[in-house]
Structures are given as C-alpha cells and as structure tokens.
Structure 1
Amino acid sequence: MNEVYITKSSVYLPNEPINNDEMENYLGLVNGKPSKAKALILRNNGITTRYYALDKNGKSTHTNAEITANAVEQLFDDQFTRDDLQLISCGTTSADQIQPSHSSMVHGLLNNGKSIEINTSTGLCNAGMNAFNYAFLSVKAGTVDNAVCVGSERFSAWMTADKFNHEVENLKQLEEKPIVAFKREFLRWMLSDGAGAFLLQNKPRENSVNLRVEFIDFYSYAHEIETCMYSGAEKQEDGTLKSWADYPSDEWLKESIFALKQDTRLLDEFILKKGAQSLRASFDKHNIKPEDMDHVLAHISSNYFKVGLKEEFAAVGLDFPWEKWYYNLSEVGNIGAGSIFIATSELMNSGKLKKGEKVLLCVPESGRFAYSCALLTVC
C-alpha cells in the first residue's frame, strides 16, 4: 500500500461575499414580504457572509459543475498538468441534474483531452468525505498515482423565492402557522455555494506543505434513527419517506417534494451526541489520544452547535482546548459537502502548520445521522 498525501488544495467561491442584509436581494421575497424567521435563524447560526452563484435578479451565474471545475483548475501547474490527472472524485448534495453523474459534467468542463476514471458520491455533507475516501483508497491501493477529490454545493438556486411562493399561495400557512415558516425556511438562511478540492498523490511535493492521510472512518446510525434531513420525498407519520416517484406530478410543487427539509427536533436531539460517539469509536480503533491533536476542524451547520459539540466531545474523553479548533462558518457559510475541504485548504495555506502536527477532520451528516472523520499529518 502507498502512502497518500494531499499535496495541493484549492477553493472556489462564486462572486462576492453577501452579508445578511443583502440576502433577500439575491434570493427574493417570499410572497413579496420580508422573512419573519430570518433574523432568528441568523442570530443562532452566527453566519455573517456567504457566497451565492446568483446575481441580484436571482439568475444563476454558475452551475455546480462550473464551480467544481473552477476549483479543480486551480490545482494544475507546472508540476501537475491537466494531462497528468488520472482520477476525479466529486461529492455533492446539489448536483445540477439527476443524471448523468456530477463528475461526468465536471470532466466535460475540464477539457483535458483524455479519458480518466471518475467517481461521484451523493448524499449530504458526507458526500464530500466519501469522494475523498474513494480517491484516497485508489491512490493507496496503487490503481492510480494521483487523484483529485472535490466537495461542492450550489444551494442558492434551491432557495430562491419562486421555489417557496407556490406553497404560500396554496397553504397560506406562513401567516397561519409560523412554525411551518420556520421549518420551511430554516435551511434557506444557512446554506452557501462553493467548492474545495484536494490533489492526492503517492509522493509528497517538495518545498510545499503536504498532509499525509492516516485514515478516514465512517459511521452510520440509520439502523437506530429515522430520517432527519431529506429532499425528493415527504416524511410520513411513521417516520418513513414517501418518494417523489410515488406522488402524482401535480403534487410535486404543491407539497414542496423537492425542497430540502430538516426535522429540527431530531437534529437537536442526536447530531452532537452521535458525533461524539462516532469520534470516540475512531480514537479507540486507532489507539490515538486527544492530546495528540494539534488542529481540530469540525464541520458544523450553525455556530449554535459550537459549544455543545466541544462539551459532547469532552464528555466522552475528547476534550480539545479552544485554541486547537478552526472554524470558518461565519465567513463562508454552510457549504455542505464542500465545507471541510474549504476549511482544510484555508488552514493548509495559512502558513500556520508545522511538520509533524496532527490535523483532525470531523464531519456530521444529519440525513439519517452519519459521521466521518480523518486524521492528517503535516509533512
């Protein structure tokens, strides 16, 4: 088995940062009125700026595939050209189409003039880590010498007012039942667009910061807990999901079948607890200690969870001092499958890393409560 190194990383964030007061200029007003839920949600999530692949008319400026390809393009240089690329592995929640695969569309945009292996991971926040794992294992096993993995999202196109107006017209519940407004709008004020990419190689790059990948672990709790975050389906009273394909087409818009929804009750009950449980299992599996970690990068959807996550980790014997944590949620927003790539790239290019330091990555996914973690060594 080969050693595997992140030898270069990149970030692509579309357009200019958008502050909280500007959001509805891009996403639009639902039913022509400012949101009642927006201020509360923003106060709790602590996000101050984010990025949208939209102009002020709500028109798309980039596809997800274009955002992803722009991140990949930044990895090419004199030492690694587009013709050197052997595998691209992409993870996203928000592909531009159901078929063909997201990686197929990205490869088409790269125009590298040769056939390569592609892989697409779907799902929610762990889609990026699954794409990372596929690339990692491919280089480790020696089936390829290099691979590019990317996590990306283009959520803004899902959050424009026109996606919400129809249900307002039909149900009139945003005024009659404010809790419906909160549940429908919760994610509207959380999500952002962008992509982060890693170049993985079986040898470190000279005169550069390299991160050796020690392991990537995954844990699912779907056998214990019902679905929390979903799209393309509707949750039934017994907790099961009814697929979009089982609804008449005239119900798709009326019932907001394709809207991204989240059961906030389940989120609050399980997201931190199961995250701590999974990380404890990983530390025991690899016989590592919390004091060995120098940097802790945890993907969170909201700053509301920041203190609680630290406390839950500490409760299972993983007490990381605040100075070791690295967060960028307030500045870039929640970019789902791309978030951990972007945070890692920022840290990797910050000039703060020293040889021998350990970098821990932690990613939760509330879909049906799945978690991943990875350990990297600076070299």
Structure 2
Amino acid sequence: MAMMKVKFNMKKRVKLAQGLWLMNWFCVITGIILFSMGIFLKIELRKRSEVMDNEESHFVPNSLIFMGALACALNAFAGKICYDSLDPAKFAKWKPMLKPYLIICVFYNVFVFFIAVVCLVTRGSLESTLAHGLKNGMRYYKDTDTPGRCFMKKTIDLLQIEFKCCGNNGYRDWFEIQWVSNRYLDFSSKEVKDRIKSNVDGKYLIDGVPFSCCNPSSPRPCIQMQVTNNSAHYSYEHQTEELNLWNRGCKEALLHYYTNMMSSMGALVLLVWIFEISVMFGMRYLHTCLDSIANPEDPECVSEGWLLEKSLKETVKSFWDFLKSMGKLNQVENAAAEESPAVVTAS
C-alpha cells in the first residue's frame, strides 16, 4: 500500500511543477554558494598548510566543491524536467530517467547531511592537526637557510601578528625550542657556550620570543628577551605585564577561527540539505502523479501521487534484497573469472 497519498487535479499538478521549477533553480544558486564556500575554505587552509600536520583537513572543502558542482547539475536537470513535465510529448523522454535521478538524490542527500555533521563536529581532528603542525613549524622557525623550510619564519611571524597570538599554547613554548639560527650565534662567547652545555640536547635555549609576539598595545617598548628576568629590566614584573606579549596561543586562535567558520558552513549546508530533501519529495510526487494518470489524453483528470509505493518496512526489505542480489551477482562474476584461467590451462 502506497504511503502518504495525495490527489492532484490539473491545477495542482501545474502549481507543483512550477513550484519545483523555482525551488530547483534556487538550489542551483545554493549549489554555487556551496562550491564557492569550498573554494574559500580550501584557500584558507592552503594559506596555513605549513602549520597543519596533514592533508585530512581538506576533506571538507573538497566535499563542498563536489557537492556544489553536483547540486548545480542535479537541480538544473530537475528544473528542465519540471519545465517539460506538463507537456506529455516532452515528458515522455524524461520519464525513464526520473527513478534513477531520485535514487541519486537519496545518496546525494545522505552525503550532504554527513558533511553538515562533519562541519559541526570537526573541532577534535582540527585541534590535533593544528597542535602538531604548529609544533613542527616552530621547530623549523630557525631554518631560514634550509630548502623547503626557508619561509617558515615568515609564515609563523605573519600568523602571530595576524591572529594576535604567540607560540602553540602560549609564549612559554618558545622557551623550550631553539628558534635562533646557529649562523647568528657567536660560539666563542662564554654565554652561548654555557647555554648550549646546560641543555641535554645541546640547543641554545633562551627565555625570549620572536618580535611577532609583541603586543603593540603595550605602553612600554616590547620586552622579548629575558622575559622572565625581572632584574634585567627597569620597573618590570613579567607575571603582571599582560600587555607586553600576546598571552593567547596560536592553536587556540586558529582553532577558534576555523571552528567558527566550519560551524557557519555546517549550518548553511544543513539548510541546503532541508531544501534538497523538499525538492526530492516534490519530484517524487510529480513523478508518481504524472505516472498514475489513467487517461493521458484527458489533462483535467485526477491522479494520485505518493512518496513510497509500499510501506516503509517493505521498501527497506526490497532495497536490502536488491543489495544482496547485487552482491551475489558480483560473487558469481568473480567465480567465473577465477574458473576461466583454469579452463584455459587444462585445455
């Protein structure tokens, strides 16, 4: 028994077709927006790829680009079907394509919903990616003469200036790594030798930070060297000088920036999903109400439209049986392919 039956006369069919035509072209516009969002997010991630640990973060922008392009194609195609649907001669050529189109729409909407959820819950993986990427980036800060790493200093400095942050979790992260290149160290100096010898790894560690950590709102000239040594500076207490350096770590700053961006995109993708679901249901009603017209020569006749031809339980069972039959067919083909070489060898 068909589920959610609705009766349609000629006037209702025309209104349904016209409404779906408008909705499909609106969804084409949303598809362009999704595509543009994917491009924008990909550019934003590429700009800071040096401080990101892996390429997994590009799954979302690549998916948005794919979904946007597919939405434009699917909805433009559906818009053309809606436009021709009330002309029996024109609709006849589209009729065989409607069922495959609706199946594609089901999978497409599942994927759209999945991407919306990924956008909304991506904070955990993004935090790990940024933590490892920033840690490696800071370690390579001094390697301005090393090919492939020579731009890392500029990247980190611009990042800290733009996002008003310092280090990975805070400015003290710079105390734990050597960020001054050996070419700028005087190894004949006793101070340099003592600092290197006092460290197990033989690194030149100082309680200083790069200039890009300085807060321009500070009323005094920035203190970036001997940050924790109060006696080295006049009228200075490093624990109370909050305006001297940026206190926020760059991981937190970038995470906040990208999380807000992804959450906004996730909400927009969820809105697009609702529109696409509505269009899919509408196309199903248009398909069934036109398909069930008893007398095609009488355009004024009443027809019935529905969402599911059978009950939900029967529909799920039929779909599951279809998937199992496809699996068995694949097994038979593989078995036949394995037997073929054996037959050739025996002959």
Q: What's the TM-score, normalizing by structure 1? A: 0.19
Identify, as 1 or 2, the structure richer in strand: 1
Identify, as 1 or 2, the structure richer in helix: 2
Larger Rg, first or second structure (1 or 2): 2
